[in-house]
Amino acid sequence: MTAEREQLIENILAYDPKADTSMLALAYDYSKDVHKKDIRKSGEPYFMHPLAVANILAELKLDDATVATGLLHDTVEDTEATLDKINNMFGQEIRDLVDGVTKIEKLDFSTKKAKQAENFRKLLVAFTTDIRVLLVKLADRLHNMRTMEHMKASAQKRISEETLDIYAPLAARLGIHWVREELEEHAFRWLHPEAYKAVMEKLDKRHLRDHDLVAEISHIIEKILQENGIDGEVSGREKKPFSIWKKMEDKQISFEELSDIYAFRVIVPTVEDCYKILGLIHTRWPIVPGFFKDYISLPKRNDYQSIHTKVVGPRHQRVELQIRTFEMHEIAEYGIAAHALYKEQPVLDGEKISKRTDESQVSQWLRKLVDMLRDGQNSETLYEHTKMELYKDQVFCFTPKGRIIVLPYGATPIDFAYAVHTDVGNSFLGCKINGQHRPRMTQLRNGDKVEIIRSEEQTVDLKWDNWVVTGKARSAIRRAVRDTKRRQHIGWGRQILKRAFDREHKKFSDDIIIRNLSRLPQETIDDVFQDIGLGELSSEIVLNAVFRDERQPERNERKEYTRKEKGWRAFANKIGIKYKQTSLLGNQKDSISIGGATSRLPVKYASKGGAVPGDRIIGVLTPNEGITIYPIQSIPMDLLELSPELLIDVTWDIEKDSKARFPAQIEVVAINEPGTLVQIAQVISDEKGNIHTLTMLDTAPDYTRMRFELEVLDISHLLTIIRGVSGISVVNSVQRTFN
């Protein structure tokens, strides 16, 4: 038995004496054999990677099947091994685990993002059946991040971004904080090498200055424990470089302005001891107001429990303290692995997990992912939803009847409404927070009592999407808006087609359309109406299909050309452009170039919201006026009733250093304080934007909603202004509008 194999098995037996050592030895030998010709980019044998993954899993104290999967996880993907061979040698359980971790390589995806999203979907499907799949995947990613120095810079950046987007937050959600911290540190190092180096240098200098401070504070806390008969443990450390850098970025402060570099952990036997030592420490040192959090009475969504507080300790140094029991510490370090759920081979789609659902918020979160998979969410939507959910902390709010609603940090009353029920969200009209009417975009805080005011006449607005942070609310809003727009397009299409029948002196009815559906590409009558309303189907085509036997399409089309086409071609020649038939979905490569104010074409911009370079745009030909430019996302629906030949595809043709300005408008909701308007105007001025018009839309005792009509250079310039305004402390929200 090799030394590495012996050491691995010895580590597993230390926490699981009943482990199947012969199976582990076989997995070790088989993986080493099939990988014997493979070499890593570093030049070392490839087998060192699965061995390292297995050791990480053993460090997490996982069962023998999971550790064996770590040894075998790359065999099917990279060698001649097959799932059938794995099944024959190691059984169905390990075969399924290996399959769950194996990446999708044979499917053909149109984009890298789609491939990444579909891989992520497979990972979700696998680990919502057996959580051990995700634990193996995290160990695999951790070792890859530890050995990134031999990869190309582009690969280092791409993998690090994915690690920060998905894997580090997944580790945090599962409560495995040491894995999360290490993943973040490696990703930080490769994504922002200069910032990483700068933070490390400053930490080294701080360490030299305060080298004995950690020991001093630890000694004081230990003495407090001893004097009060509490048998506990104390540890202290500097915070990690990534968390320090993130705080500097989020709060826009320098390293020197940070006041809480040091963190201490106090671990005691009982919950009563936690609160006792908290009182003793608060008696010894003054607290820092606003930083106390009790996650014992209200655990985090990953079942994390601890008391967090911040005090002003020796040498006037602010320090953070975490106080927890030994059992809580085990969960904080190992997360879901500490629950030993893997020993029961948990499933979330059957009976085995149901009896434990109430015990673990992690299980509840996984069940929500299963529901999304069942609902048929496409891979990219699911990927973005999960990224968004992973990053958020939580707030606890209450319904008027006292029901607790747990939401991500930054959630609004609209999120709250959809968390209660989708119908409540769809009928959201307004809200009261702690008895006071508040704007719908107000950020909720812990302990808020939220009352939702409903109206069945309310229509969901797509701009709500900018005011929510939960995946459930966002999905429901987009679905409701799609349904509403579909109904609108169906209604418009029906009206357009009815008028076309009237012009032909024909009687219009649904039955006559249904009887002739086989002559049209659409499957249902609603699809016909919708496509007409969208401008994707001409009423003339429907008339030809319905009255095919009595109409002469060629003659009618020739008359239409004579009456309409000729006139438009003459108008196009008059204003100096080449006329062509097109539609809303026209060919971009044949589009007309628009050069802004200096264009030789008679061009004007939509009066509501304008258009700026960077927007996808469409033009509408108007006799005696020229072309009106609309952003594709804001073209008024009534224009879709126009004949398709009136819509032309246009693209921007702006010189790089052009000083031409274009109209755009933003809507700002801000707290009513003296100087608020001055602050907003100053930021817009500092960013070289012009304010054309200011309109006060809605004024309440506490806030004002206002619209700024601006002149900007392009979409990047507009987004810079929006970011600047949103950073003002008195500003609640900023968004671009097309009202």
Query: Could you list the active site residues?
Result: 77-78
Cβ-based burial of 470 (10 A; exposed 0-12, middle 13-18, buried ≥19): buried
Burial state string for 422-432 with b = 16 or more CB within 10 A and e = fewer than 16: beebbbbeebe
Do 261 and 239 meet the contact criterion of CB atoms below 8 Å apart?
A: yes
CB atoms inside a 10 Å sphere around CB 502: 11
Do 458 and 406 meet the contact criterion of CB atoms below 8 Å apart?
A: no
H helices present in 16-91, as ranges: 21-34, 48-59, 64-72, 75-78, 83-90
CB atoms inside a 10 Å sphere around CB 215: 10
* Strand-pair partners of 325: 268
CA distances from 227 to 102, 224, 231, 309, 312 (A): 55, 5, 10, 21, 21
Q: Quick one: which of 390, 282, 266 has its CA closest to 328? A: 266
CA distances from 609 to 629, 663, 693, 714 (A): 11, 7, 12, 13
Q: Quick one: which of 609, 610, 628 has its CA closest to 619? A: 628
Cβ-based burial of 73 (10 A; exposed 0-12, middle 13-18, buried ≥19): buried
Do 619 and 635 meet the contact criterion of CB atoms below 8 Å apart?
A: no
Contacts 24+ apart (CB under 8 A), 654-659: 654/595, 654/596, 654/613, 654/714, 658/596, 658/598, 658/713, 659/713
Burial state string for 218-249 with b = 16 or more CB within 10 A and e = fewer than 16: beebeebbeeeebebebebeebbbbebbeebe
Cα distance from N-terminal residue to C-terminal residue, the chain = 74
Report which secondary-structure segment, H or E, holds 321. Answer: strand 318-325
Residue 180 CA neighbour count, 13 Å, CB half: 19
Q: Say which residues have a Cβ less than 8 Å from residue 464's Cβ, sequence separation at least 6.
A: 414, 428, 440, 473, 477
With tokens 């007409």, the residue in question is 532
Cβ-based burial of 453 (10 A; exposed 0-12, middle 13-18, buried ≥19): middle
Structure tokens at 291: 């930083």
Q: Quick one: which of 588, 581, 718 has its CA closest to 649? A: 588
Residue 62 φ/ψ, nearest 5 degrees: -90, 165
Cα angle: 409, vertex 413, 414; to 5 degrees = 100
Residue 618's SS3 state is strand
